[in-house]
């Protein structure tokens, strides 16, 4: 409902930069709202009248849009043309990419609205975005926000897309930890930092606004961590596959982040090089048909639904974590030997709910504590190599004529019969 139908609009004296609009509305107590538009300010003053009960029942409230229409009416009344005022000059994006994998943007977003009974605080969304294609290269949701969570996402992006020219972030500690700075240096990745108080310089901030529209409503009603992981995976796929406004004017027919990214890769490093850079913290293994892996003579369970898939093992001090595409599958408490790399003891297994369920139904009412999820296996026995002996010829068991060896050699058979007779 327009305010002109429920109150009286009167002009109050004021300067060009401070117009006062007095609106008489039937509310109990007067209050003042000030709003700014470009280079001038307007103050809206509400005064009470005697129709309080009627309008309270109607539930009339003035929104921000209504205030904007009132200010537009005031500009029209006084002939103010904002186009003649000094307009804000649009700043140039300092990290605008001209090709794929030139700049990556990374940041952490808090997911505060959810219905997870076991989580009484926000959980975190960590994503890495390619500035040129706007594609999400790696992302994860986590209950913690530390350097290991960021390194997991970074390692997943490096394994999938190669290394970029530079990574853009704010001044967060997890982006400048010693382990991350070592990875930047070894792989030749530049580390750029946005200006303080200028989040618009990071493309990931615009991406987070898209996440709010695509996934926040689903996160708000999720009741289990497994559902949250599934929502995250679905959102990541849909975002990369759907049309993006930044690519609407492209003439090559590529309008989604996945199409623009295509098969473009950054600087590719072999998996062994990446493992050596993150040595003592990250390893890769393949699961068997039952979802187990072998790591330093220990048999560890990860996920039966990911049989024969390659997973990543992370070791942080006393914690061993098994992940698949930056998604935690299981965790174990470990004790390291004096060399700080070999496992001495593994205990306290914890399985994280994941959407990768096996098609094989579990036994009825399985007791988690009775399941054998980790055990120590005997060491590998060295294989003895067989030394081959040269210049040794294997003799045949029977000495037959060459033609007798052929099946159906009737000429040789008749000749033998004649000679015997």
pLDDT digits (tens, 9 = 90+) for 198-222: 989 999 988 888 999 999 999 999 9
Find the helix or strand (DSSP H, E) in which 275 lies.
Answer: helix 271-277
Q: What would the mean pLDDT of 277-301 be, rounded to a whole number?
A: 84
* DSSP codes, 179-220: HHHHHHHHHT-EEEEPPTT-GGGSHHHHHHHHHHHHTHHHHT
Q: Specify whether the CB–CB gap between 8 and 24 falls below 8 A.
A: yes
Residue 319: predicted pLDDT: 85
Q: Specify whether the CB–CB gap between 315 and 281 falls below 8 A.
A: yes
Q: Specify whether the CB–CB gap between 220 and 114 falls below 8 A.
A: yes
Q: Specify whether the CB–CB gap between 228 and 356 falls below 8 A.
A: no
The band of 102, judged by pLDDT with boundaries at 50, 70 and 90, is very high
Tell me what percent of the residues of the chain surpass a pLDDT of 90.
33
Q: What would the mean pLDDT of 184-199 be, rounded to a whole number?
A: 92
Residue 168: predicted pLDDT: 95
pLDDT digits (tens, 9 = 90+) for 8-52: 444 444 444 444 444 444 443 444 444 444 444 444 444 444 444
Closest C-alpha among 208, 169, 171, 172 to residue 189: 169
The band of 70, judged by pLDDT with boundaries at 50, 70 and 90, is confident
Q: Specify whether the CB–CB gap between 240 and 259 falls below 8 A.
A: no
Whether the pLDDT of residue 368 is over 80: the answer is no
The band of 403, judged by pLDDT with boundaries at 50, 70 and 90, is low
Q: Report the range of poorest mean pLDDT among 67-76, 84-93, 394-403.
A: 394-403
Two structure tokens written together for 290: 């039952």
How far is the C-alpha of 411 from the C-alpha of 390, rounded, in Å?
A: 39
How far is the C-alpha of 286 from the C-alpha of 251, rounded, in Å?
A: 42
Sign of the torsion formed by the C-alpha atoms of 299, 301, 304 and 305: negative
Instruction: Sort residue 101 into left (φ over 0), alpha (ψ -120 to 50) or beta.
Output: left
Residue 174: predicted pLDDT: 92
Q: Which domains does the chain have, with CATH numbers?
A: 3-84 (no CATH), 103-261 (3.30.420.10), 280-376 (no CATH)
Query: What rounded mean pLDDT belongs to the chain?
Result: 77
Find residue 267's DSSP bridge partners: 163
Neighbours of 170 (CB within 10 A): 19
pLDDT digits (tens, 9 = 90+) for 295-338: 988 999 998 888 889 998 888 778 888 988 778 889 899 988 87
Model-level pTM?
0.60
pLDDT digits (tens, 9 = 90+) for 239-275: 999 999 899 989 998 999 999 999 899 999 887 777 6
Residue 2: predicted pLDDT: 35
Two structure tokens written together for 292: 């187990």
Q: Locate tokens 């055990």: which residue?
A: 375
E strands in 25-122 = 31-37, 40-47, 103-111
């Amino acid at each position: 409902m327009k305010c002109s139908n429920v109150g009286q609009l009167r002009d109050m004296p004021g300067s060009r930069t401070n117009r006062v609009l007095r609106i008489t509305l039937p509310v109990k107590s007067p209050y003042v709202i000030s709003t700014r538009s470009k280079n001038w300010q307007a103050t809206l003053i509400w005064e009470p009248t005697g129709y309080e009960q009627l309008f309270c029942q109607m539930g009339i409230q003035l929104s921000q849009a209504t205030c904007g229409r009132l200010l537009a009416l005031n500009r029209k009344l006084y002939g103010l043309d904002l186009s003649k005022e000094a307009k804000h000059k649009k700043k140039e994006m300092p990290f605008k990419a001209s090709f794929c994998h030139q700049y990556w943007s990374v940041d952490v977003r808090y997911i505060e609205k959810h219905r997870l009974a076991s989580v009484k605080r926000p959980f975190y969304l960590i994503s890495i975005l390619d500035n040129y294609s706007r594609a999400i290269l790696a992302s994860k949701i986590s209950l913690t926000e530390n350097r290991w969570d960021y390194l997991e996402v970074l390692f997943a992006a490096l394994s999938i897309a190669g290394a970029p020219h530079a990574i853009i972030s704010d001044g967060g500690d997890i982006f400048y930890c010693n382990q991350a700075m070592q990875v930047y240096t070894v792989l030749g990745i530049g580390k750029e930092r946005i200006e303080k108080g200028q989040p618009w310089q990071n493309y990931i901030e615009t991406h987070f606004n898209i996440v709010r529209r695509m996934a926040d409503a689903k996160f708000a009603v999720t009741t289990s961590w497994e559902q949250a992981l599934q929502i995250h995976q679905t959102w990541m796929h849909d975002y990369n596959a759907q049309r993006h406004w930044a690519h609407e004017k492209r003439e090559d027919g590529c309008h989604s982040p996945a199409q623009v990214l295509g098969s473009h890769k950054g600087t590719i490093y072999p998996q062994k090089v990446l493992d050596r850079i993150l040595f003592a913290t990250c390893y890769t293994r393949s699961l068997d048909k039952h979802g187990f892996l072998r790591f330093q003579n220990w048999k560890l369970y990860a996920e039966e639904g990911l049989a024969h898939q390659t997973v990543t093992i992370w070791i942080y001090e006393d914690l061993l974590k098994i992940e698949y595409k930056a998604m935690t599958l299981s965790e174990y408490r470990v004790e390291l030997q004096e060399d700080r790399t070999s496992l001495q003891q593994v205990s306290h297994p914890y399985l994280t709910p994941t959407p990768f369920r096996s098609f094989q139904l579990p036994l009825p009412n399985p007791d988690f504590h009775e399941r054998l999820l980790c055990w120590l296996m005997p060491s590998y026995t060295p294989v003895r190599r067989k030394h081959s002996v040269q210049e040794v010829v294997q003799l045949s068991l029977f000495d037959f004529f060459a033609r007798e060896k052929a099946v159906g050699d009737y000429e040789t058979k008749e000749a033998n019969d004649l000679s015997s007779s």
